[in-house]
């Protein structure tokens, strides 16, 4: 079965293993892209390299699975680098914080918010659930605090507001350590357009070289055209 999470040798270094997490963070396998802490724990044991490069593009998922993967990556004996390939939201943003080096392009976003659930029952059940959710949220607060220059109160306010964070903001707050500058790329259409223009220029130069120069006087040409020659 195709996996949207994957351990593979990195093209950047022979001593680096690349872990790709491009899917939901969950213990339940509803889709082929789903990944949980059990999957990561099982395959992380086989990593023999000194460096681990974790590429993330995920809307998030279960808090327990996100924290589990975060702690597994933090316990890795080598150096962990995380890269936000697009979205690192909710539980995926917690995983992103596991990197000693945390990289974001300006075309990526982080999102942090409080833990959420669905509940039913009487008022006492809802009061108890609210207290439980606050406790479930706190470990994520601690993770963000461990890398950020923001206070706990500031982080909690951002989580209360469900905050989307740009690369520049992530760097400013300490969530990211590096912004990667991407080289501008040409689209396929631009490539072919440039090719056509160059071919037309070449054809024009060939035609110009094959055509003998004209020595007619401009005044004479205009005179012939308007019937004013000799006036």
The span from the CA of 120 to the CA of 116, in Å, is 13
CB atoms within 10 A of CB 69: 28
Q: Counting every residue, how long is the chain?
A: 231
Q: Which of 4-8, 119-123, 174-178, 216-220 has the highest mean pLDDT?
A: 174-178
Higher pLDDT, 144 or 198: 144
Asked if residues 28 and 61 have their Cβ atoms less than 8 Å apart, the reply is no
The span from the CA of 143 to the CA of 157, in Å, is 15
Under the banding of pLDDT at 50, 70 and 90, the label for residue 202 is low
Q: Which of 27-36, 79-88, 194-203 has the highest mean pLDDT?
A: 79-88
Domain 5-180 matching CATH 3.90.226.10: the answer reads yes
The span from the CA of 141 to the CA of 94, in Å, is 9
Computed over every residue of the chain, the mean pLDDT equals 84
Listed residue (155, 11, 145, 22) closest to 83, CA to CA:
22
Instruction: Tell me the β-bridge partners of 192.
Output: none
Q: Where are the domains of the chain?
A: 5-180, 188-226
Under the banding of pLDDT at 50, 70 and 90, the label for residue 2 is very low
The span from the CA of 135 to the CA of 29, in Å, is 26
| Burial class of residue 169 in the structure, from the number of CB atoms within 10 Å of its CB (0-12 exposed, 13-18 middle, 19+ buried) | middle
């Amino acid at each position: 079965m195709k996996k949207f999470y994957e351990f593979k040798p990195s093209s950047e270094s022979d001593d680096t293993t690349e872990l790709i997490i491009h899917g939901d963070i969950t213990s339940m396998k509803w889709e082929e892209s789903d990944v949980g802490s059990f999957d990561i724990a099982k395959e992380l044991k086989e990593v023999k390299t000194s460096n681990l490069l974790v590429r993330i593009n995920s809307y998030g998922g279960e808090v327990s699975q996100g924290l589990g993967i975060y702690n597994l990556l933090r316990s890795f004996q080598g150096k962990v680098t995380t890269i936000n390939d697009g979205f690192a939201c909710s539980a995926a943003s917690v995983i992103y914080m596991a990197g000693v080096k945390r990289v974001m392009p300006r075309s990526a976003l982080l999102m942090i918010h409080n833990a959420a659930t669905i509940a039913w029952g009487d008022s006492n059940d809802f009061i108890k659930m609210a207290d439980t959710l606050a406790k479930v949220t706190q470990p994520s607060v601690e993770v963000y605090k461990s890398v950020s220059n923001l206070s706990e109160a500031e982080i909690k306010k951002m989580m209360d507001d469900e905050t989307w964070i740009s690369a520049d903001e992530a760097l400013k707050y300490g969530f990211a350590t590096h912004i990667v500058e991407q080289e501008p790329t040409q689209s396929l259409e631009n490539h072919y357009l440039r090719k056509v223009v160059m071919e037309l220029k070449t054809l024009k130069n060939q035609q110009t070289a094959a055509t003998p120069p004209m020595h007619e006087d401009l005044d004479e040409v205009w005179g012939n055209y308007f019937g004013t020659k000799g006036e």
